[in-house]
Structure 1
Amino acid sequence: MSALFDRRPAVDASVEASAASAVAAGRDIGQAITAPGAVGMHIENATLLSPDACPPAADVACPAGVFHLPTRAALFVGRDPELALLDEALATPGQALVHAMHGLGGIGKSALAARWASGRVGKNRPVWWITADSRAAVDAGLAKLAAALCPSLVTLLAPEQLAEWARQWLASHSDWLLVLDNVSDPADVYPLLSQATSGRSLITSRRSTGWQGIAERVELDVLTVEEAVDLFNQIRGGAEPADVAALCAELGCLPLAVAQAAAYCAQTHCTPREYLDDLAAYPAEMYAATEEGGDNERTIARIWHLTLDRLADDPLAVRLLLMLGWYAPEGIPRSLFGPLGKPPAVRGALGRLAAHSMITLYDDTVSVHRLVQAVSRTPAEGDDHRHTVAVEAARKSAVRTLAAAIPEDPYDPSAWSTMRLLLPHVEALIEHAGPETDTETTARLLAWTADQLSSTGPGLAPKAIALFERTEAARSRLFGAESAQTLETRAALAYALYRADDHERAVPLAERVLADCVRALGDDHDVTLTARLKLARMLRPARGNERVGALLEDVVARRARILGKQHPRTFQARKLLALNASDHRSYPDARSAMDLLDTLFEECRTALGADHHVTLSIQGERLTLAPEVHLMKSELGEMFEKFGFYGSADPSPDAMPGMVAAVKALGPTGMSNMMGSATHPDEAERYAAACERVYGKDHPKTLTARITLAGAYAFVGQGGNLSQAVDQVVSDAARMLGTDDSIVSTFRGLRDMLKQFPLLQTNLSGGLEELAARARQMSPPSSPGSAESKAEAIEPILAWFQSVRESAVNGTLKPSDMADLLNQAMQTLVAVAPDSLKLPLEAPSESPEDENP
């Protein structure tokens, strides 16, 4: 008899016989002996079996055609890497016998398993599919396998005995494939897998954890856009390709969502564009929609409901999932969730969501599929988890956690890095939540983000403008059109418009805001002073504007009286006042500005410290202005001042002859030394190092310091350091601001120009030589300003240029000589030459090979 049936109930140890020939019975009696030679038998039911009726499992060979697979394997796209991985494991001895394919519900785990398993069906190789979402379901699937292997057992054994017989068959045979689909708990399949080890098993599950020692994990991701489009077109062909791609992207390329959208479009004869429009206008209805006869439990609205049911014993996990719907899909900082509970509770809730493949968990961040997000923020009537109150509470929590991450000090060095982390999520929040939902917490979050963007540079100004406009509308609604909060935001908006080069809107708005501030808040209010300062900054480019100085002097005086002369905000105003002097483009004013900055720098360093952000700001302005002031003190500067060239858009023609004579008198030696004594850029190097130490390497202020350092290297002619500095600026700016930012393109052009320096020298040298030759061929001079005198003036320039070429050969070439001095000399010379002497700076190329950059 098979071991399967040699099972008798154990006798209850508490039942005893107390005398000779006595019988004690605890259960039904099959046979009893009460005395020597006395036998009593009792039989209630008996089935007489032949020895072959219930064969041992090990003795049964697999009949032909034993397989059970779902029919959905026919609709399938992509997944080549995963199919190849499973094929390789199947063909390689010693590879894992069990693979657990896990991923988000609707991602196509079952479709992939069915497609792969369908290719493994053989004549005498059983391939059996079991829905394994519970232990009872596993046993039911095994019972059906036993019936397929040995049909006669169906009338002989109970279902649980059939399941046990199937386990014994799997344990005693090889070359079989078992697919355990939709496993909810690894514990449900562990007994089977630990017993049946001689074949192959493929598991599909939403669970990403708990497989250690049981199976090798295979994580499944969404389709590519191209694969998703292919899947859509298999169901509903003939649609506009761009619209299909847009719809697939909106659905996150989730196979189930794409297939259901395609089926809905095919049934209702709607286009992908119409589906997208309906999805935006009626998300709850569209997520619940399916084709006629479709499974309502497999709609997008319901596909993750079962998972939430399993997580319902941890309310924080459900709350977190609903909150995650309001952020961007990728890079959600885990630190945001600190205020929601104790660290073990938060980690545990995130871990459970990750274990059920609802999120992907990294060391510092979280990511979530965009469709999971969309469903999470869409209230569903009758849904215990996604009712209106829960979704709205999750949105408010999402706002609070973002706002709580803002540094209290707006000048905190971490502010920039924090803004970079939060920006995608702030943008996602305002995209998904209408302006009518904005609170003061929302407005504070948006205003802070916009301030950080606006201070970064013109490339991010458009984003700052959009945030300021929404903040201004919210604060006007909440506090009134002339409240301090609203006026402060409006002043910031005006300056953001100015940074975006929209001066026509910026300056009139700034004028109105200042007038409103004076009327509503008074002259001494901090918002009024800030508005006045911003207006002065906008008016500064109009050189010689006396109003700018008056505005700045007013702010300095009021801040000194209210905050103190050495308050950081007073120092900032004083810095702008000093810089305003240099904007007049006169030598005395520029020298005066430098003297003021020197004094201010020492005061600020003493009062606030060398690493204070205001001290570093003043130091940077000094370094930026220093080359200009140094040039003014040189012979060339004095020459340009004498003849009225510097700062003049249209120098007087009467000055031209004098300028030519001065250049001639200067001679080659003077031309080489006309920059004066240049100092090594030690201070610029210290400044860049200080900014990196204080702000970090990925901060706009550090980037600005590196640009300043590059300028210092260029000024003193350290070509090797200049090239390295320019490369660093290009790399850092591209990483921080994006490859399309204007700073990146500008310094990329400078880098390319430095590489073309030898060719540039050749072209300029040839031009000068030809210019001198043509001047010598002119008729004898009739006046001091004639062609001959101009030709003579060319001679020292040409000699100087030859020395520059020699310097380039021996490695001592100064880029400042090439870029600044020669350019100014050439402009002067060309300006005084008659038309017959003027040469085009770029001659048209005769052939592509002869093309000169």
Structure 2
Amino acid sequence: MAGAGGNVVSGGTQGTVVQAGHIEHLVVHQAPPPADEVTVAPPFGRRGAALRGREELTTRLLAASGTHVLYGLGGVGKTSLALEVADVLARDGAPVWWVAAQDAGRLAGGLRAVARRVGLDAEELAGGQTADLLWERLAALPGPWLLLLDNADDLALLDGPGSLAAGTGWVRAPAGAAGLVLVTTRDGDPAAWGSGPVLHRLGALPGPEGARVLVDRAGPDAGPATDAAALSVRLGGLPLALDSAGRYLASVAERPAFLRTPGEPATYSAYLDALGTGDVTVDGDGTLARIWAMSLRLLRDRGHAHAEELLRLLAGFADAPVPLRVFAPERVDIPPGELWTCLQALDRLGLAALRTDEEPVVSLHPLVRDAFRGERERLSAALAVTLDPPQAGGRLWELLVPHLLHDLDAGRTEDGWRAALLAVDSLEVRGMVRAVPSAARSVAEATVRALGPVHPLSLAARLAHGQALLDGGQAGQARVLLGELAADMAETLGPDAPDTLECRHTLAMAHHLCGDLDGAREVNARVLTARDRVLGPAHPATLTTRHNQAMVLVQLGDPAGALAEFDAILAAETAEMAEMAETAGTAGIAGTAGTAGSAAARGDALARTLVTRENRVHVLRMLGDTEGAREELQAVHDARVRLFGADHPTTLSARYNLATVLPPDRAREELTAVLDARTRVLGPDHPVTLATREALERTARTLPE
């Protein structure tokens, strides 16, 4: 009500008469309804199909006493679990009281009704000590009983006459009682609940259990269990969403085919596809939207003003854990302390999952991501350009890759495209050979669409794609792509530009792998002349081209010429490493900066030297020096294990070559191990894997049976 003076009366006003002078704002709390008008009967009519995935917790609660709190995301099945416990106890003859705790009126009215059921009379209820007397009577009751408070999201209401955390509010732990107090809530903040209650977080249902929920609702004809499990994962294992999707499919199935809309999904897999395109929604009646709105309102009431902003940011990432380092102060405007408490609150409400292990991450619930899809903010696209490069290694880049390759066409800045290229580089650095070609192709195609084919970033992406095809065993495709790219680069950047020369260098490798040795020698010669002129004879890029030309000489039947090339390359690389070692020693004594970078450079130089030594072995074998080849390959293999690990593709290359100069019985043992590793790392159909299998079969045929 508002008067001419601007006074406002809010709250429950029915039956309220106010007469006052000048009052700016008056809140009138409506009295709770009389106890006789409040039902505390459990709503067993709301029970649906069998409860899935909560059997263990149900059993524990049925054997428990004291106060237990079920908390988690709205729709996760807290009330369904409480109804299951209530039903079992009621059928066993135990008294069960159900109190709706959404607001002060229903909470107080329900608890007063329970107080009447346990023997408090009207005079005692009017004495102002209802809470204390209620808990005294409950503690004295013989045998099992259940008091259930449902939807107690506003924990301030549970303080009642005292304090929830201190054990003096409306909810307490009845010491020594044989009864069970069960509370359902979104808010599992341990500080707010105090030490009395036992907290149980309800999380998502695992894929198989979620699949059972879908089958219960949709019936047996919606598809195999594997498809149901995949749909369950996409729905985040949220029982409410599973129930909605299952009932949708059931409603489609019960209609005759001629009454269905064309393309209307009738199976789990079709529904999953339709979700991805936005053709269907799991939230047809807006129930989930109301759940998210209620959760956000609760967060705002708790003082988390940045919750909605943070959810929008998280919705801009892929459906994968997001490393918390991306929310550093220089990238977001949320103060670090508030960011952390907000993440904790999102975790407690089940909107997100927070993990604080070696590399702290947060994962947004997939349905929450869907809800914020239209409002998300793209923080992920450019974040990597301010981080350490992929060569720095560590868990961080493994976590970043899915986000940097997510939504490649979603309006990226140039920094965003650089970040995508770094993600491809990260896959290469970590030896994920099978994943690189498809990732590189996606980035190249998206960059060309966004920036045009000859933008510097598009040229770099196209080159990364060609290199990935070559490394992935697709030399023919790589040769076509690189030939077109070399012409574009020469025209756009100039014939002697570093990227142009790198493209032509890679094109020569493609010619070589396709068996065109004369073409490889011709292109290598042109690149070598240009690099020697532009970069100098000792530059690593010049030496790499010289190295490749030596390999061509090997295959063209000129081992003496190839050996002279390799020895010259090795001498230059050894001199470079010696100079680096001397420089590093001086830096260490002087205490100057850059030691870590120098160590990385020395590591790169060592890796190049190992390649030279490994390829030089082929010439030694052609010249009949098998013992020298064996010793050299063993040293290369051992060094690569230390540098990259036993399963890195280059380490496996050295081990394969070593096997070819061993006696047949040892060779079979080594080749078997290499085949297992290459199958695992590169895939069973990769050309290198197939070559290993053929070599093993040839070796096995030479051994006596």
Instruction: Specify which of 632, 643, 657 is matched with residue 691 of structure 1.
Output: 643
Where does 1:181-580 land on structure 2 (aligned, <5 Å)?
181-184=150-153, 188=158, 189=164, 190=167, 191-194=169-172, 196-197=174-175, 198=177, 199-210=179-190, 211=193, 213-237=195-219, 239-242=221-224, 247-266=231-250, 271-273=265-267, 275-276=271-272, 279-282=275-278, 286-290=281-285, 299-312=287-300, 313-338=303-328, 339-340=331-332, 341-363=334-356, 364-377=360-373, 379=374, 391-392=375-376, 394=377, 396-405=378-387, 407-408=388-389, 412-414=391-393, 418-427=396-405, 429-430=406-407, 435=409, 437-453=411-427, 456=431, 458-474=433-449, 477-478=450-451, 480-542=452-514, 545-580=517-552
Partner SS, residue 289 of structure 2:
coil
Checking the alignment, whether the CA contact within 8 Å between 1:133 and 1:181 is kept in structure 2 is yes
Counterpart check, 1:80 vs 2:58: no
Relative to structure 1, is the Cα distance of residues 111 and 745 closer, same or farther in structure 2, using a 3 angstrom cutoff? farther
Question: What's the offset of the Cα at 1:747?
Answer: 11
Q: Which residue of structure 2 lines up, in the alignment, with residue 119 of structure 1?
A: 88
Give the Cα–Cα distance (whole angstroms) in 1 for the partners of residues 112 and 347 of structure 2: 33
Question: What's the offset of the Cα at 1:282?
Answer: 4.0
Give the Cα–Cα distance (whole angstroms) in 1 for the partners of residues 527 and 186 of structure 2: 63
Question: What's the offset of the Cα at 1:251?
Answer: 1.8
Checking the alignment, whether the CA contact within 8 Å between 2:66 and 2:181 is kept in structure 1 is yes
Give the Cα–Cα distance (whole angstroms) in 2 for the partners of residues 212 and 726 of structure 1: 60
Q: Which residue of structure 2 lines up, in the alignment, with residue 762 of structure 1?
A: 704
1:13-71 CA distance string (max 9 Å, x none): xxxxxxxxxxxxxxxxxxxxxxxxxxxxxxxxxxxxxxxxxxxxxxxxxxxx9953443
Q: Normalising by structure 2, what TM-score?
A: 0.75
Give the Cα–Cα distance (whole angstroms) in 2 for the partners of residues 246 and 451 of structure 1: 30
Question: What's the offset of the Cα at 1:262?
Answer: 3.3
State the percentage of identical aligned residues: 23
Partner SS, residue 313 of structure 2:
helix
Where does 1:692-841 land on structure 2 (aligned, <5 Å)?
692=644, 697=645, 702=648, 704-705=650-651, 707-709=653-655, 711-712=657-658, 715=661, 734=680, 737=681, 742=686, 761-763=703-705
Q: Normalising by structure 1, what TM-score?
A: 0.63
Give the Cα–Cα distance (whole angstroms) in 2 for the partners of residues 747 and 510 of structure 1: 25
Checking the alignment, whether the CA contact within 8 Å between 1:578 and 1:597 is kept in structure 2 is no
Give the Cα–Cα distance (whole angstroms) in 2 for the partners of residues 209 and 746 of structure 1: 57
1:728-770 CA distance string (max 9 Å, x none): 9957984xx487685996799699989x97x97332xxxxxxx
Instruction: Specify which of 553, 563, 578 is matched with residue 581 of structure 1.
Output: 553
Relative to structure 1, is the Cα distance of residues 221 and 288 closer, same or farther in structure 2, using a 3 angstrom cutoff? closer
Checking the alignment, whether the CA contact within 8 Å between 2:97 and 2:114 is kept in structure 1 is yes
Relative to structure 1, is the Cα distance of residues 365 and 85 closer, same or farther in structure 2, using a 3 angstrom cutoff? same
Relative to structure 1, is the Cα distance of residues 719 and 129 closer, same or farther in structure 2, using a 3 angstrom cutoff? farther
Relative to structure 1, is the Cα distance of residues 97 and 168 closer, same or farther in structure 2, using a 3 angstrom cutoff? closer
More deviation in 318-327 or 352-361? 318-327
Q: Which residue of structure 2 lines up, in the alignment, with residue 622 of structure 1?
A: 612
Letter of the structure 2 residue corresponding to residue 257 of structure 1:
A
Checking the alignment, whether the CA contact within 8 Å between 2:78 and 2:202 is kept in structure 1 is yes
Partner SS, residue 68 of structure 1:
coil
Give the Cα–Cα distance (whole angstroms) in 2 for the partners of residues 621 and 425 of structure 1: 33
Give the Cα–Cα distance (whole angstroms) in 1 for the partners of residues 274 and 230 of structure 2: 14
Checking the alignment, whether the CA contact within 8 Å between 2:652 and 2:678 is kept in structure 1 is no
Give the Cα–Cα distance (whole angstroms) in 1 for the partners of residues 106 and 83 of structure 2: 18
Give the Cα–Cα distance (whole angstroms) in 1 for the partners of residues 71 and 682 of structure 2: 35
Checking the alignment, whether the CA contact within 8 Å between 1:733 and 1:743 is kept in structure 2 is no
Letter of the structure 1 residue corresponding to residue 419 of structure 2:
L
Relative to structure 1, is the Cα distance of residues 738 and 220 closer, same or farther in structure 2, using a 3 angstrom cutoff? farther
Give the Cα–Cα distance (whole angstroms) in 1 for the partners of residues 550 and 663 of structure 2: 29
Relative to structure 1, is the Cα distance of residues 575 and 629 closer, same or farther in structure 2, using a 3 angstrom cutoff? closer
Letter of the structure 1 residue corresponding to residue 442 of structure 2:
L
Unaligned runs of 5+ in 1: 1-64, 91-95, 291-295, 380-390, 638-673, 764-853
Relative to structure 1, is the Cα distance of residues 621 and 238 closer, same or farther in structure 2, using a 3 angstrom cutoff? closer
Letter of the structure 2 residue corresponding to residue 253 of structure 1:
G
Relative to structure 1, is the Cα distance of residues 682 and 454 closer, same or farther in structure 2, using a 3 angstrom cutoff? closer
Q: Which residue of structure 2 lines up, in the alignment, with residue 143 of structure 1?
A: 112
Checking the alignment, whether the CA contact within 8 Å between 1:125 and 1:176 is kept in structure 2 is yes
Checking the alignment, whether the CA contact within 8 Å between 1:323 and 1:397 is kept in structure 2 is yes
Checking the alignment, whether the CA contact within 8 Å between 1:495 and 1:538 is kept in structure 2 is no
The alignment of Structure 1 onto Structure 2 pairs a total of residues equal to 611
Larger RCO of the pair (alpha carbons < 8 Å, separation 6+): 2
Letter of the structure 1 residue corresponding to residue 560 of structure 2:
P
Give the Cα–Cα distance (whole angstroms) in 1 for the partners of residues 272 and 184 of structure 2: 31
1:371-426 CA distance string (max 9 Å, x none): 2222222x3xxxxxxxxxxx24x2x2232334544x34x6x342x85543222333
> Once superposed, what is the RMSD of the aligned Cα atoms?
4.0
Checking the alignment, whether the CA contact within 8 Å between 2:72 and 2:348 is kept in structure 1 is no
Partner SS, residue 218 of structure 1:
strand
Question: What's the offset of the Cα at 1:256?
Answer: 0.2
Give the Cα–Cα distance (whole angstroms) in 1 for the partners of residues 121 and 682 of structure 2: 70
Relative to structure 1, is the Cα distance of residues 417 and 463 closer, same or farther in structure 2, using a 3 angstrom cutoff? farther
More deviation in 533-542 or 316-325? 316-325
Relative to structure 1, is the Cα distance of residues 316 and 206 closer, same or farther in structure 2, using a 3 angstrom cutoff? same
Question: What's the offset of the Cα at 1:114?
Answer: 0.9
Give the Cα–Cα distance (whole angstroms) in 1 for the partners of residues 181 and 691 of structure 2: 58
Q: Which residue of structure 1 lines up, in the alignment, with residue 140 of structure 2?
A: 172
Partner SS, residue 149 of structure 2:
strand
Larger radius of gyration: 1
Partner SS, residue 344 of structure 1:
helix
Relative to structure 1, is the Cα distance of residues 126 and 753 closer, same or farther in structure 2, using a 3 angstrom cutoff? farther
Checking the alignment, whether the CA contact within 8 Å between 2:613 and 2:632 is kept in structure 1 is no
Checking the alignment, whether the CA contact within 8 Å between 1:99 and 1:202 is kept in structure 2 is yes
More deviation in 368-377 or 707-716? 707-716
Q: Which residue of structure 1 lines up, in the alignment, with residue 586 of structure 2?
A: none
Unaligned runs of 5+ in 2: 1-38, 159-163, 256-263, 582-598
Letter of the structure 2 residue corresponding to residue 440 of structure 1:
E
Q: Which residue of structure 1 lines up, in the alignment, with residue 74 of structure 2?
A: 105
Relative to structure 1, is the Cα distance of residues 577 and 134 closer, same or farther in structure 2, using a 3 angstrom cutoff? farther
Question: What's the offset of the Cα at 1:255?
Answer: 0.9
1:513-563 CA distance string (max 9 Å, x none): 212222222112222112211211111225573443343343334334434
Partner SS, residue 301 of structure 1:
helix
Partner SS, residue 182 of structure 2:
strand
1:489-523 CA distance string (max 9 Å, x none): 22333333344444444323322221222222211
Checking the alignment, whether the CA contact within 8 Å between 1:361 and 1:367 is kept in structure 2 is yes
Where does 1:672-687 land on structure 2 (aligned, <5 Å)?
679=631, 683-684=635-636, 687=639
Question: What's the offset of the Cα at 1:703?
Answer: 5.0
